[in-house]
């Protein structure tokens, strides 16, 4: 059997994130979304989105990329929320039977305002 290989980034909340005022958290979230939208525009992201109601409250988001794991580590080291210590990027390789999953070009929000608009 042949396998497709993708890089997956699990975004998690660290056990000791820095204490920040809500306006700083909101700015970081907007910067994180803009960073991720930039990766989508570059054609690097195949799928991305947050988790809702996870069993593990530290799980925040999931990203599937079309690049090597070391490249993903470098890109997410520059994510503003990761740099600020609000998120941790855990990178791994995901194998699945060839052709089992197809990714369509779907836009991602570039800000919290855009995400909240529902458009």
Q: Order of strands across the sheet with 88-97?
A: 45-50, 59-65, 3-12, 88-97
- Is the separation of the CB atoms in 13 and 105 below 8 Å? no
Count of CB atoms situated within 10 Å of the CB of 69: 16
Which residue is it, tokens 């369509």? 104
pLDDT band of residue 36 (cuts 50, 70, 90) is very high
* Distance between CA atoms of residues 105 and 4, nearest Å: 18
Choice between 108 and 34, residue whose per-residue pLDDT is larger: 34
Task: Read off the pLDDT of residues 56-113 as tens digits, 9 standing for 90 and up.
Answer: 999 999 999 989 999 999 999 999 999 999 999 999 999 989 888 777 776 777 787 8
């Amino acid at each position: 059997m042949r396998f497709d290989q993708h890089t997956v980034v699990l975004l998690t909340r660290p056990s000791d994130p820095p204490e920040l005022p809500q306006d700083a958290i909101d700015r970081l979230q907007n910067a994180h979304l803009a960073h991720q939208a930039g990766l989508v525009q570059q054609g690097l992201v195949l799928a991305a989105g947050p988790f809702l109601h996870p069993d593990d409250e530290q799980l925040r988001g999931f990203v599937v990329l079309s690049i090597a794991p070391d490249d993903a580590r470098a890109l997410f080291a520059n994510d503003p929320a990761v740099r600020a210590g609000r998120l941790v990027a855990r990178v791994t390789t995901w194998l699945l039977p060839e052709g089992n999953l197809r990714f369509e070009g779907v836009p991602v929000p570039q800000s919290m305002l855009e995400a909240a608009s529902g458009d």
